[in-house]
Structure 1
Amino acid sequence: MKTTDVLIIGTGLAGTYVALNLPTHLEITMMCHHSTNSTLAQGGIAISLDQKDSFEAHIEDTLTAGRHTNKLDAVKTLIENAPYQIQTLKKLGVEFDYDAQKKIHATLEGGHSYPRVIHAGGDQTGQSVMSLLDQKIESANNIQILKGASLLELVIHDQQAIGIVYEMNETIQVIYAKHIVMATGGLGDLYTHTTNQEGSTGEAIAIAAFAGAKCQDMRYIQFHPTAYKNKDKGYFLITEAIRGVGAYLLDAHKNRFMDPIHPLKELAPRDIVSKAIYDVIASTQEAFVYLDTRHLKTKYLKERFPNIYKTLEKDGLTLGVDLVPVTPVAHYAIGGICTDLMGRTNLMNLYACGEVASTGVHGANRLASNSLLECLVFGKNVAEHIVSSHEHISLPSITKDPLDTWKHTKTTVSNSYKIHKACVQEIMTKYVGIVRYDHQLKLAKSELIRLLSPLKKIRFDHVDHAKSYNLVSVSLMVVEDALNHESLGCHYKEIEKKGLKSCKDL
């Protein structure tokens, strides 16, 4: 029987930080299927450093962005623990960018009342942090990583999470653990247009929900306002820190349009900027708006945003010279598996941390650059609770082999998952985007149920069918939650449109 002390699903910042905060005498197994989104984070980490700034101001900005639906104790926990976590990162070797006065440089982003977003490598904060932490993980003798593992089922015994059934190298296996941490990131890959890595489809939410874990706020999908369509690599996020240093948004007629919409103009919270761009695109019938940096110096932009500069340069665009076409795309899942401040779910010994979790810290809309901080603060809390409870946890006697359910499941190559994923992406992109209508959501629900019904019967026939079942189920959770709630923050519903037609036959 394969066992481990702590099983961490996901190798992004949340999972990695949990692992590095656990004592070395614990045996830790980390499991991943796709590349982490943490490496893509450009902007940075929000922390109050300015003398004029304060915890109270950061808390208020977070609440304002979240429409004051945030859980206040979670917000305070996040922000008041920020300095300690940043000091920890510095001790681990993370090198943040400094200003001329040799202080950590902080920039302004949307929804923030003060410059408080610190960064590393210019616009490569996620990459800078993760490259260092990955080295720490790889050199740790007590940590093993299982790469290419697909989640199939959470094993439960008397309301206690005790293991995971997974497929790897065309073999279905089970691993048991005293503590299981879900840290798999978001579900942006349910959409055709996204900043997320391929594979970010929320399967951990699905298997946790099937096992009885409570989930919440699935309707809140944040769209990043400014993504650039690469000529060969899909969508590339352009951090709002560029707007923080003065870039404008222009419509197809080269006019600024945010001035009358919000006092912060281009630096309004993300949901407001994304909705404004959506309206402009709809009115002009253009596929994008423009990011204008022509009034800023190219040399400065090249030094401050080296990754963005190089990416655009490959497509023949120069920051400070050319207008950059941008559009909103699916970016961040605010809802997920319900947890308390220590990352605990309602299932014993099951934790969730990072984007896959829902602590209530973001409310109805996430404030820019609070996400990496969330991974750090709540990742540390998860590790602390595991340490405090470990001696009191023991695995029960296993009376039924969970692999019995999967013993006839085929693992050979199949196109089923790709086909179902393409169908889901079409439905979600068409009907569950920035602006939603009840009629469209009902169409989406009926189409997803139509996909799900046959999968229930063949779920255990093939690994691809099981993965498809998870994929469609998570999408249905988003749609049903959207139908059951009124417009707020990221979840923006408008008055019904008449004469809508159903999805084409899938």
Structure 2
Amino acid sequence: MRQFDVLIIGSGLGGMTIALHLADKLKVGLVTKRELRDGGSGWAQGGIAAVLDDQDSIELHIKDTLVAGAGLCEPESTRFIVEHSKEAIDWLITMGVPFTRDDSGETNYHGYHLTREGGHSHRRIIHAADATGAAVIDTLATKVAAHPNITVLEHHIALDLITDTKLGKTGNANRCHGAYIYDIDADRVDTVLAQHTVLATGGAGKVYLYTTNPDVATGDGIAMGWRAGCKVANMEFIQFHPTCLYHPHAKSFLITEAVRGEGGILRLPDGTRFMPNHDERAELAPRDVVARAIDFEMKKGGFDCVYLDISYKPSSFVKEHFPNIYQRCLELGIDITKQPIPVVPAAHYTCGGLVVDRAGRTDVDGLYGVGEVSYTGLHGANRLASNSLLECMVIGKAAAEDILGAGFHPVPEIPEWDESRVTDPDEEVVIAHNWDELRRFMWDYVGIVRTNKRLERAQHRIELLQHEIDDYYSNFRVSNDLIELRNLVTTAELIVRSALARKESRGLHYSRDYPGLLTESRPTVLNP
């Protein structure tokens, strides 16, 4: 058994933020499925939204967030996060994050360049060229790895949370005491105890066939929290990024929102611009609008993709602002200074998740959720571009402060993981087949445009998969693939149940059966 003051599951920006805010005073264990830098945050290209420019304001940022959220943002949480945005950026600057400089004196913050993205009324996105997430994560990971009070457990995946309810304890309280963690390299399950446990596992993009997310985004924290007794909310709102590079050798490569923010034009294969026909904001409309427009044009014309064109800008401008996209596309034979970029929508962000308050607290005592795994109310029915990394930092710091003020909670005696009644798996092909089937029918039936019939078909297939997976889980030793598949199927069920419960089209959820808006709409909350 291992024991820490705080166990953090997930090594993205949310997990690292909490770890660094706690480590000077507490002993922290940080669990990551792969390497320390392999969380989803490192894939973020565009930047971080914050009120930094004197001509911008808290009220404008809140307004833009509420508009994008289509009436379902939680106003108090939104204000709390936006009001702390400058403080979060200043913290990153003190950490040494190399944000892009701009000493022209226009649209900058202390010499740092600010860009604009879809849905924003002002230039407020601070960024590190077109690889902001990587710059932030690399900077913080260096500090995490060097801190004597942080133990990083790489190649470990959380199997399930340890709670009073699961231990068979009676009473009204249900406290989390850590988690059973599968050591992938050693092929064993360890018991890891903690006074406080944080889920910072990211989203569930891998539930879909096409996604901009890394392979680790399998809904682990959402599924574990649900099994532990947490409420989930707004799982029907899956954001499909409008522009993922369409190329057989470009797995999950995102073309950042900022390309459109800096003047990129969406065109059909014949060169026709189409976004003004769908929305007066054209390419600067929020992501749900742009993704549906692309989906509509692709299906109407029978196209494999559409094209994002920034080639009319000076070559030096394109290379300076988007060096990584330029280089990656060039490797694939696409010179974006001369050619448009082939793009398709892809699952990008999970706007719903475990219900948490402004300190990241879930319904289970001692259990916190931070980042994409959680539902704070900030994103509503559609996340505004570049608000996600901001949420990680603001709620992450608030959760750390709450943990520091929570006092000591002794951990009871916990049984070790019991493998005495299971055997080695005989047919691992079952896992691979079920994984592929799930992602394909979720893409076909629970994608950008939905119908009741499609959702019901998905629900029926999920039930069949759950029976197979539960049987497999009960009889055979666990593996990384089995743990992820089990979590993906649970997350898929929550998405479909939430989608069936919403009898309207709002934000990221578009139903042909209910194309209109309800006059009064509320978050979809599921109780375990």
- Name the TM tier (shorter chain): over 0.9
Per the alignment, residue 112 of structure 1 pairs with 120
Q: Give the match for residue 524 of structure 2.
A: none
Match of 2:436 among 386, 402, 422: 422
Distance 1:60 1:484, change over 3 A: same
In structure 1, the residue matched to 2:421 is 408
**Quick one: distance in 2 between partners of 1:342 and 1:295?**
46
State the 1:412 CA deviation: 6.5
- 1:323, distance to aligned residue in structure 2 (A): 1.4
Distance 1:149 1:410 in 2: 21
Q: Does the C-alpha gap of structure 1 residues 202 and 410 become closer, same or farther in structure 2, counting only changes over 3 Å?
A: farther
Which residue of structure 2 lines up, in the alignment, with residue 347 of structure 1?
364
- 1:455-494 → structure 2 map (5 Å cutoff): 455-462=469-476, 463-464=478-479, 465-486=482-503, 487-494=505-512
Alignment of 1:195-234 (within 5 A): 195-234=212-251
Partner of 1:163: 178
Tell me, in whole angstroms, the C-alpha distance in 2 between the residues paired with 1:207 and 1:479. 18
Q: Which residue of 2 aligns with 1:141?
A: 148
Q: 1:467 to 1:101 in 2, by over 3 A?
A: closer
Summarize the Cα distance change of 1:352–1:410 in structure 2 as closer, same or farther, 3 Å threshold. farther
Corresponding residue of 1:326: 343
Quick one: which amino acid aligns to residue 290 of structure 1? Y
Shift of the alpha carbon at 1:230? Answer: 3.7
Say yes or no: does 1:191 pair with 2:204: no
Deviation at 1:473, TM superposition (A): 1.5
Give the AA of the match of 2:62. I
Choose 24-33 or 175-184, whichever is displaced more: 24-33
Matches of 1:21 and 1:61 in 2, distance apart?
30
Bigger shift: residues 56-65 or 45-54: 45-54
- Give me the CA root mean square deviation: 1.7
Gap regions ≥5 residues in structure 1:
498-506
Tell me whether 1:89 sits opposite 2:74 in the alignment.
no
Partners of 2:261 and 2:488 in 1: CA distance: 36
Distance 1:133 1:265 in 2: 37
- Say whether residues 1:60 and 2:63 are aligned partners: yes
Distance 1:108-1:467 versus aligned 2 partners, 3 A rule:
closer
Partner of 1:79: 82
Query: Structure 1 counterpart of 2:119, which letter?
Result: G
- Does the CA contact (< 8 Å) of 1:194 and 1:331 recur in 2? yes
- Counterpart CA distance in 1 for 2:70 and 2:357 is 20
Cα contact 2:218–2:484 (8 A) shared by 1: no
Identity %: 38
Shift of 1:199: 2.5
TM-score by length of 1: 0.94
SS of residue in 2 equivalent to 1:152: strand
Match in the other structure for 2:410: 394
Q: Counterpart in 2 of 1:382?
A: 399
Residue 30 of structure 1 corresponds to 30
One-letter amino acid matched to 2:101: Y
CA–CA distance in structure 2, aligned partners of residues 219 and 282 of structure 1: 22
2:455 matched to which residue of 1?
441
Query: Do 1:37 and 1:197's aligned partners in 2 also have CA atoms closer than 8 Å?
Result: yes
Give distance in 1, aligned partners of 2:2 and 2:201: 21
- Give the CA deviation at 1:251: 1.4
| Aligned residue number for residue 450 of structure 1 | 464
The answer to whether the Cα contact below 8 Å between 2:238 and 2:347 also exists between their aligned partners in 1 is: yes
Q: Is the 8 A contact 1:252 1:284 kept in 2?
A: no
| Alignment-derived partner of residue 169 in structure 2 | none
- When the two structures are superposed, what TM-score results if normalisation uses the length of structure 2? 0.90
Shift of 1:193: 0.7
Cα distance in structure 2, aligned partners of 1:388 and 1:29: 19
SS in 2 for 1:451: helix
Q: Give the AA of the match of 2:91.
A: T
Cα distance in 2 for residues equivalent to 1:419 and 1:27: 41
Determine the C-alpha separation between the residues in 2 that align with 1:420 and 1:150: 20
Q: Does 1:241 align with 2:241?
A: no
- Deviation string 1:76-99 (CA, Å, 9 cap, x unpaired) is 111110111111111111121121
The structure-2 alpha-carbon separation of the partners of 1:467 and 1:250, relative to structure 1 and needing over 3 Å to count, comes to closer
